[in-house]
Structure 1
């Protein structure tokens, strides 16, 4: 998948219908950190449910056939369209999360991204600690993001289905901290899940490709 964030979600569409975009790896590729069992529920049940719900909600409306990005920005903050926003945003967020992980993840960021991280956070290690803290301390369901604001990088966290797209901020990476993302493998040990994902699975190449 291209990392053109203006149309990142095109793999989720087939004409006017929204579809479950394929994972970028096999369902057991993230083991032992994230099990195939977790992916079967997280991707095959939760992510798919958002797709099915969105198709029902937008059928016969002006949103039918629009990209997820268009729907998200058009419905953000509108109480009467919360259902459409939540499902469209959760499809997008989940797709972005799958690409934020890699079986060959972890290690050191590519040079250009590493320089940006060092400029913004002092060091890669300092960034990892701040990123992990954001994910661990997000109250309830939500997401932690590495994002780009102008020439600087920032760490933000969002609740429920919200994402940096609603704020005009460019996301580079995300970690899902809804309980269904980790509970089958880590139970209530969110810190263990977050730190292990950052150490073993985080997809620096994807983040670097998303730099504006």
Structure 2
């Protein structure tokens, strides 16, 4: 079965004023949509891979046939990363973390302000395009990492708990070159309930 672009879990204008309506529409419909279309095209010659979930494809990327590994890395990664990213935001969200993630942040980063500083710093310093993540590492530690382009830490065995997209198309219409400002404002959209859902499934 072909991969599909899922609808946003909120309206395009739901995250105003932090993420503008036009950015959401272009980012979801065109950028994410293109990744899905390109992924399906890449897998046309690999019927045995078409039944796998996107999680399986990304987690087992290094075992895929070399002919499709790069297209799946780029387009499958784009699909997987964005599918997580949209759910981690919500209207009327943000604020202090609640639930189990609040304890994880306290235990591993001292407090929420220090966590935000480290997370934003990793996003600011990601050269070019990519994502910043909170992961549960293969060794069982909670760490902040960044990945280039549409790479995903799951490929290296690190379970992705939350992320922010620092490709320019995620923020440029509103924030232009002010990535740091975008990273700061993004916290007003964080859906802590979904972060806790992902945390609860971490191996």
Structure 1-normalised TM-score?
0.87
| Mapped pair 1:93 → 2:78 | no
The answer to whether the 8 Å contact 2:120/2:183 transfers is yes
Show CA shifts across 1:48-76 (max 9, x none). Answer: 00111111110131222221112223334
**Correspondence list, 1:18-97, <5 A:** 18-61=3-46, 62-76=48-62, 80=67, 81-97=69-85
What's the CA shift for 1:77? 8.2
Q: How big is the alpha-carbon RMSD for the aligned residues of Structure 1 and Structure 2?
A: 1.6
Aligned counterparts of 1:106 and 1:68: Cα–Cα separation in 2: 28
What's the CA shift for 1:151? 5.2
The answer to whether the 8 Å contact 2:128/2:167 transfers is yes
The answer to whether the 8 Å contact 1:100/1:203 transfers is yes
Aligned counterparts of 2:63 and 2:150: Cα–Cα separation in 1: 11
Secondary structure at the aligned position of 1:18 is classed as: coil
Deviates more, 1:67-76 or 1:189-198: 67-76
The answer to whether the 8 Å contact 1:120/1:153 transfers is yes
Aligned counterparts of 1:104 and 1:89: Cα–Cα separation in 2: 28
Cα separation, partners in 2 of 1:71 and 1:38, compared to 1, 3 Å = same
Aligned counterparts of 2:73 and 2:24: Cα–Cα separation in 1: 24
The answer to whether the 8 Å contact 1:172/1:206 transfers is no
Structure 2 match to 1:6: none
The answer to whether the 8 Å contact 1:76/1:85 transfers is no
**Correspondence list, 1:97-136, <5 A:** 97-136=85-124
Aligned counterparts of 1:132 and 1:47: Cα–Cα separation in 2: 23
Aligned counterparts of 2:76 and 2:85: Cα–Cα separation in 1: 14
What's the CA shift for 1:147? 1.3
Secondary structure at the aligned position of 2:87 is classed as: helix
The answer to whether the 8 Å contact 1:76/1:82 transfers is no
Q: Which runs of 5+ in 1 are unaligned?
A: 1-15
Aligned residues: 196
Cα separation, partners in 2 of 1:137 and 1:63, compared to 1, 3 Å = same
Aligned counterparts of 2:180 and 2:114: Cα–Cα separation in 1: 16
Cα separation, partners in 2 of 1:58 and 1:137, compared to 1, 3 Å = same
